[in-house]
Structures are given as structure tokens and as C-alpha cells.
Amino acid sequence: MNSTLVTIIISFAVLPLVVLSYQLGTPQALGQSSIGEYFSQPALAPAQKQEPKKVLPRRNLEVADLAIDSTEALAWDFKQNITLFSKNSNLTRPIASLTKLVTAAVALDYTQPQESVAVSLRAVKTEGNSGNLREGEILTVYDLLAAALLESSNDAAYALAEYTGNKIAPSQEPPIDPVKVFIKSMNQKFNDLGLVHTNFEDPSGLEDKISFSTAEDFSQFIKYLRDNPNYLPIWEILKMPGYQTESQNSIAAHEFKNTNPFLLEFSGVIGGKTGYTPKALGNMMLIMAGPNNTEIIYLVLGSVDRFGDIRKVVNWVNQAWVWPQEKQ
């Protein structure tokens, strides 16, 4: 092949390829070409993590709607935020000794369960004799929590309020009533949680004229108690059929019995609290484990048969709602 022909071939075939390969290799070309787009991406993009879909229940429409006599009621699957049953759940009314759950929470905000508390005459003189506490006996915070939550002892609630109130606001001049300090903290806790349809006037729930809450507010508070590990002693106590203790100075021995009748009747009971005054009527909070690792809060307020009404709501929810099996 003569030299002229070779030169022509190189000019029209090889040289353009060299120029093109040079241009593709430049930063400007890499930023504009499809080849550049390919090389500018990582070889393996990280897989996007997908959140598992909630396994939501469906309403079984073959089961009729529930009618109960209590003034107010709520069943709420709080982990999936599904209201399963509601009746007048935003109506404000007194909640009686359900108040002691708030007292227990505020006490645990400022004390440790093993701290020692001397029961005062003021606490012992509180209306009601549940718990049978004695003036001057020394019990732990945990003992008093058990008395207040299991046997609904008003004396124990006031003893906790006095002791904790003095820790919140130590001795000052002029003196401040530690129980009033404690009650202010109870209301402040609900305000901080945005639960503004609630007011407390005492730590036991006896003052039912201007103390009130709603099923919506109180169920949100119960969720808060479940989500916060600081309140594990509350749930530990509420699972107990009973609790025995003796005052540290040997003044008295006590056995506090749980007023929750559902510990053995239903499986999966996490805890419950009862309450009653003539004005508030019967009240109850019950929390149970539900299907697919959820938890359901049951509340009835203003009931002439609180246990019967709770039983009706629990049984109705089990029939009226169907939870699909969670995929493994």
C-alpha cells in the first residue's frame, strides 16, 4: 500500500477516533455525556431502607355497634393510633382515683423508689382508710406507690405529695404547703404534654368538684407513662395481685391488694386502675397487649358498672375488629 493511501486512511478513520476519545476523557465531556453520567454515579447505590407497613385492623361490619351506659368510654390502640371505640371521649368529668396515676408519675419525677418517707398525721387523717397507714411509720416511696396504686390509698397519695412537694420546693420563708406545690406540678405535667382539658385539685382524686379530665386527655397521659422508662415501677406494681411490706421502724405491717379484677380474667393485662366517688361514679383504666405487638388502652368514666362496661368494650373490640396476621 502506497504512502498516500495510508495517509488518507489515517486522516479519515483513525484520527477522529483519537480526538473523540480525548474529548470523552476531559472533565467537560464527562460532565455532559452519558458516559460521564455513568462514571459520576457510584457503582452500587445503597439500597433505600423501607419502613415496614403497619398491619392495620379492619372493622368487622357483621358486628353491630356497641352501646354502653357509662358516660364516657374509649378504646385506643395507641401504638398504631387507631381509635377502636369512643363515646363522649372529649367530655370533661371527674376521674376520682385514676388521679393517683398522675400522683405516682410526679413522685417518680423527683424521687427514687428506695427513698424513705415518714407518714404524717395530715396524711393519715385524709378521708378513707385504704392502706391502713399509721402516723410516724416509715415506708419507702415504692411502698407508698404500691398502697396508692393497688389499694387506692388516699393516705399514701398524700404522703407521697407531702414528701415530694418538699423536694420540689425545699423549706422557704414564708412556708409553702408542699401538697399545693405537688398539685401544681401535676397540672404542669399535663400542660407540658398539651393536655389542656384537665385540672387537678388534690393528689388522690377526692376533690371532684373542680378536678376533671377527659378520656382523650387521660389516654394520652397513659401512653406517655408507657413510653417513658422512668415510670416502669408503676407498671411493675399494677401487675401485682398484692404487695406486702413492713414499716422500717416496725410500727405496722401491710398487705395491699389490687382492686383490678381483670388480672386473671383476661390474658395480656398490662395494668389497670380503678376509681370511684359519688360524683364521679365508677371509673376504670385498663391497658392490655393486643395483636401484632400493639397495646390497647380502655377507659370508662362515669359508670354505674365500671367492670361490666370495661368487659363489654374489651369483648366488643375483640369481635368487631380483625387484625391480619403480621408477616414474619
Residue 72 — pLDDT band, cuts 50, 70, 90?
very high
Rounded Cα–Cα distance for residues 59 and 114 (Å): 46
Please report, as a single letter, which amino acid is at residue 28. Q
Residue 86 included in any domain: yes
Assess if residue 328 is contained within a domain: no
**Mean pLDDT value across residues 288-298:** 93
Region 224-248: what's the mean pLDDT? 97
Q: Which helix (H) or strand (E) holds 85?
A: strand 82-87
Cβ neighbors of 191 (< 8 A, separation 6 or more) are none
pLDDT exceeds cutoff 80 at 12: no
Count up the domains in the chain and report the number: 1
The range of the structural domain enclosing residue 91 comes to 58-322
In a domain, 128, yes or no: yes
Residue 270's φ and ψ, nearest 5 degrees, are: -95, -35
Q: Does residue 2 fall inside a structural domain?
A: no
Which amino acid is present at 97? S
Does residue 15 lie within any of the structural domains? no
Query: Which H or E run includes 180?
Result: helix 178-192
With beta carbons less than 8 A apart as the criterion, state whether 235 and 295 touch: no
User: Is residue 284 assigned to a domain?
Assistant: yes
For residue 261, whether the previous peptide bond is cis, meaning omega lies within 30 degrees of 0, is: no
| Mean pLDDT across 244-268 | 95
d(CA 5, CA 245): 111
What is the model's pLDDT at position 22?
A: 42
> What cell was used for 266?
383476661
User: In the prediction, which pLDDT does 48 show?
Assistant: 60
pLDDT tens digits along 49-65: 665 566 789 999 999 99
Rounded distance between C-alpha atoms, residue 8 and residue 38, angstroms: 35
Handedness of CA 164, 231, 141, 147 (dihedral sign): positive
Q: Inform me whether the pLDDT recorded for 8 exceeds 50.
A: no
Residue 170, exposed/middle/buried by CB under 10 A (0-12, 13-18, 19+)? exposed
Residue with the bigger pLDDT between 225 and 55: it is: 225
Is 255 part of any domain?
A: yes
pLDDT of 122 reads 94
- Residue 259 in any domain: the answer is yes
> Is 323 within 8 Å of 289 (Cβ atoms)?
no
pLDDT value for 53 = 64
User: Is the predicted pLDDT of residue 84 greater than 50, yes or no?
Assistant: yes
Question: Taking a C-beta distance cutoff of 8 angstroms, is the pair 101, 155 a contact?
Answer: no
Mean pLDDT value of segment 86-109: 97
pLDDT, tens digit (0-9, with 9 covering 90-100), for 136-145: 999 999 999 9
- Of 43-57, 156-170, 271-285, minimum mean pLDDT range: 43-57
Task: Please give the model's pTM, rounded to 2 decimal places.
Answer: 0.82
Strands 58-59 and 242-246: unpaired
Give the CA diameter of the chain: 124
Amino acid 280 reads A
Q: What average pLDDT is seen over the chain?
A: 87
Length of the chain: 328
Provide the pLDDT confidence category of residue 151 given band limits of 50, 70 and 90: very high
Element of type H or E holding 303: strand 294-303
What is the CATH classification number for the domain harbouring 247?
3.40.710.10
Please check whether residue 63 is in contact with residue 319, taking contact to mean a CB–CB distance below 8 angstroms.
yes
